[in-house]
Amino acid sequence: MNLSLIIFITLHLIRPSSSKIFHGDHDHQTTCLNPFLDHQNSSLQDHILKLANHVETAAWIKKIRREIHEHPELAFEEIHTSSIIRRELEKMSIRYQWPVAKTGVVARVGSGLPPFVALRADMDALPIQEMVEWEHKSKIDGKMHACGHDAHVAMLLGAAKILKQLENELQGTVLLIFQPAEEQGEGAKQMIKEGVLDKVEAIFGLHLVLSSDTGVVASRSGDFLAGCGFFRAVIHGKGGHAAIPQDSIDPILAVSATIISLQHIVSREADPLDMPVVSVTMVDGGTGLNAIPDSVSIAGTYRAVSKKSFYALAERIKEVIKTQASVYRCSATVDFEGPIVSPTVNDERIYEHVVKVSAMIVGKQNIEVAPPIMGSEDFAFYLEKIPGAFAFLGMRDEKKAIIHSPHSPYYAVHEDVLPTGSALHAAFAYTYLLKTSTSVCGS
């Protein structure tokens, strides 16, 4: 046994605690085994990084990402993508369940026994025409992986490969969740509905970003990503000739006042530290230059980082629209349509574990506390059910022109960070199971 390795793990990963870091319903007796083997006197992080950065493994991860990139598929249409995932899992002799949530795949590595920890990657592409000219450009007209989900799948498959090589040392079971339809905001909910989180104690998700330099991990405890919702309203008045407005009830005037009043919610009612957003993005009314229409419709989006502000914002939007309509003698119907994605709120304990693991993999100097972000992620739905954390992995590189934001037709991925992402996934799961089982043994 390598004594220095045991000391390293004790000092850096296992915090003394008077309570168990263990929430699952266990029906077996946990055995306190030596959680590490002697890997030629290398430390845990060196060993995981060595596995992730092995020349053949790194090339394989990149190859998988490029294959998926060439065949982008939209939400709940990820048939080819899931076939690639299943093919690679079968090559590694990793058992899996398919289909889950129509096109999703859930694989398992480890003992098959509790505790269970989950890693998640999203799979779907966007309805965007790729404008990047390169060898592996999208072969599907009007569809593109413009948010890095192809890379997320490849990184999680890389983690599967690492964890499979460490399987005999895993103190529990790792679930690998390949999720469809993140962009639609429905995939995570469907996965949860079909029971993927049953007995799972914690979950981790990773997203590539351009807001941080290559190899930097950024996240924050608590409120992290904004919730997102959409509204549509119809203001009903009474149409008539524009020359005799007194015989009409003008819904355009009511809508004009409503749009301004909606902005007052943000500027005069909300705490600016909550960073709420209300945007009216569509106005539709009238067909003639000399006619007041019967009705006008508006639609838009609202976002807020805190759950309290987010759900209060929806109620206030409805109230303002209806009240302003009545001021101008109109009536209004308000509907909240499309997927409503909750704010992403990281669990403090799991976030702290992510920071420690990330420091092992990328170094403390490459850890950042991210600001609250107005983008949304349906990973939030997992975090409403179990403790977990979501993190960013930076890949910005101006020299390589990897600078274009997600959902841009010029979006590109810095493939050199893919092994790092795989290592982060694997290290999180490995050390979480170690930490949990050690806490149980020492309780």
Higher pLDDT, 401 or 224: 224
Helices (H) and strands (E) in the chain, counts: 11, 16
Per-residue confidence band for 439, with pLDDT thresholds at 50, 70 and 90:
low
- Per-residue pLDDT at 24 exceeds 60: no
Average pLDDT, the chain: 90
380-419 pLDDT tens trace? 999 999 999 999 999 999 999 899 999 999 999 999 999 9
- Per-residue pLDDT at 216 exceeds 80: yes
- Per-residue pLDDT at 23 exceeds 70: no
299-356 pLDDT tens trace? 999 999 999 999 999 999 999 999 999 999 999 999 998 889 999 999 999 999 999 9
As a whole number of angstroms, the distance between CA 264 and CA 266 comes to 5
* Partners of 232 in beta bridges: 299, 335
Q: Which two tokens stand for residue 161?
A: 């490969």
Higher pLDDT, 37 or 286: 286
Residues of each annotated binding site for Mn(2+) = 147, 149, 183, 207, 407
Q: Which of 88, 90, 113, 120 is nearest to 170 (CA)?
A: 113
Q: Which of 209, 109, 221, 121 is nearest to 167 (CA)?
A: 109
Q: What is the DSSP letter of 249?
A: B
- Per-residue pLDDT at 13 exceeds 90: no
- Per-residue pLDDT at 92 exceeds 70: yes
pTM here?
Answer: 0.86
Residues of each annotated binding site = 147, 149, 183, 207, 407
122-148 pLDDT tens trace? 999 999 999 999 999 999 999 999 999
The predicted pLDDT at position 39 comes to 42
